[in-house]
Structure 1
Amino acid sequence: MATSDSIVLYDFFASNCAWRVRNVLHWKGIPYETRSVNLLAGEQHKPAFLKINPYGAVPVLYIDNRFITQSVAICEYLDETRPEKRVFPEDPYEKAQVRRIVEIINSYLVPLQNPTTAKKHSNDPEEQLAWSMDFFTKGFTVVEKLLAETSGRYSVGDDVTFADMALVPQVWRAKRLKPDFSRFPNIMRVYKELLQLEAFGKAHAANHKDCPEDIRGDVC
């Protein structure tokens, strides 16, 4: 049972959105408990969970005796209430650059690459793959161009930001499409740099306690 000083993440190992929150929690060194919500088994639609999040999705973070939903809102709250190792720059222009990248990933790539969305398009797996690949290519092409403008060692300059927290899950999840990643050298350069950081390794889906054995440890 969560107490008033507990931090509890309602999580699914392969959820891009929940993964972003794990990245931020580990980056900031914030201890937390995990409550697994198996999206494949439909646990997000159970009445007990819908009381916490009527939308029926992860992540949900219980913190400061409150429940917060939506990954960007959660991470903004963490940055404002626990400002050590900030992930949103204080400079307004730099923050805008972070948000540009995050919006392409969060509002365009994630929804349109979701297997559930692809099934609404077609019941044919090959058509689903082609449909998802089309949106992947358009979205990654835009992110690649943005990183050509903004990146240093990481997505925006030489400091880790929330753009990086969003980038890593999206690249790893896109592997199922088997794209030609060589077309996106800036994305892959930043991605490989981020995988060297301990916090990103701890948060990685392939290192999650619920990760299936056949992909466990596949962090590349």
Structure 2
Amino acid sequence: MASEKPILYSYFRSSCSWRVRIALALKGISYDLVPVNLIKDGGQQLAIINYLEETHPNPRLLPQDPKKRAQVRMIADHIASGIQPLQNLSVLKQMGEKKMEWAQNCIASGFQALEQILQHTAGRYCVGDEVSMADLCLVPQVANAERFKVDMGPYPTITRINKALLELEAFKISHPSRQPDTPAELRA
């Protein structure tokens, strides 16, 4: 019995949807994309990525080494739970005229901690030289930082890793500018 293709309900700019699109692309899983105009992100994407890891173990998004696996989860959680939700649309709407400043401060604060962590864990990517769940979280968050005009100068490790990841095909094809619901003026 052939299994059905999974359906991904996605919004082109959603960090959460982008993380899942990267995971699907890395694992070579074909899926049907249903564009949805989301006004707020949710934290379910890490659960989806964990499910994909368990059902499609190659390529691995969590290292076999328990210490590295814990580092990957720590970085992914730091980004997905500690930075990204604070600059979500639903939060920014409450900030009024200070929304840009709020987003910049939240991202900069999170990136300061992340830069220190990555100085101890990074190789070519967030944890060593293999793409992991942490990297799936990093790239969309850097895009958010750029969108909110965060000065990336103080974060050379984050910037270097992001640049290396954006060269990978899975990150290119999952990029928001290449999604079917991306407005024409934002397409790559």
TM band (smaller chain): over 0.9
Runs of at least 5 residues in structure 2 that lack an aligned partner in the other structure: none
Q: 2:102 corresponds to which residue?
A: 131
Does structure 1 residue 27 correspond to structure 2 residue 26? yes
Q: Which stretches of structure 1, 4 residues or longer, exceed 3 Å deviation after superposition? A: none
**Higher-Rg member (1/2):** 1
Give the letter for the 2:116 counterpart: K
How far apart are residue 4 of structure 1 and its match?
5.4
For residues 137 and 173 of structure 1, what CA distance do their matches in structure 2 show?
A: 11
- Identity among equivalent pairs (%): 43
How far apart are residue 57 of structure 1 and its match?
5.5
Q: 1:77 corresponds to which residue?
A: 51
Give the letter for the 1:164 counterpart: D
Q: 1:62 corresponds to which residue?
A: none
How far apart are residue 144 of structure 1 and its match?
0.7
Taking the TM superposition and a 5 Å limit, the aligned residue runs for 1:154-169 are 154-169=125-140
For residues 6 and 118 of structure 1, what CA distance do their matches in structure 2 show?
A: 35
Does structure 1 residue 8 correspond to structure 2 residue 4? no
Aligned 8 A contact 2:135 2:165 in 1: yes
Provide the alpha-carbon RMSD of the alignment: 1.6
How far apart are residue 5 of structure 1 and its match?
1.8
Give the letter for the 1:178 counterpart: K
Give the letter for the 1:184 counterpart: Y
For residues 19 and 143 of structure 1, what CA distance do their matches in structure 2 show?
A: 20
Give the letter for the 1:146 counterpart: I
Aligned 8 A contact 2:16 2:41 in 1: no
Q: 2:161 corresponds to which residue?
A: 190
Taking the TM superposition and a 5 Å limit, the aligned residue runs for 1:116-127 are 116-120=90-94, 122-124=95-97, 127=98
Higher relative contact order, chain-length normalized (CA < 8 Å, sep 6+) = 2
Q: 1:64 corresponds to which residue?
A: none
For residues 51 and 147 of structure 2, what CA distance do their matches in structure 1 show?
A: 32
- SS of the residue 2:140 aligns to: helix
| TM-score, normalised relative to structure 2 | 0.94
Taking the TM superposition and a 5 Å limit, the aligned residue runs for 1:170-189 are 170-189=141-160
Give the letter for the 1:131 counterpart: W
Change in CA separation of 1:57 and 1:123 when aligned onto 2, cut-off 3 Å: closer
Does structure 1 residue 97 correspond to structure 2 residue 68? no
Does structure 1 residue 215 correspond to structure 2 residue 179? no
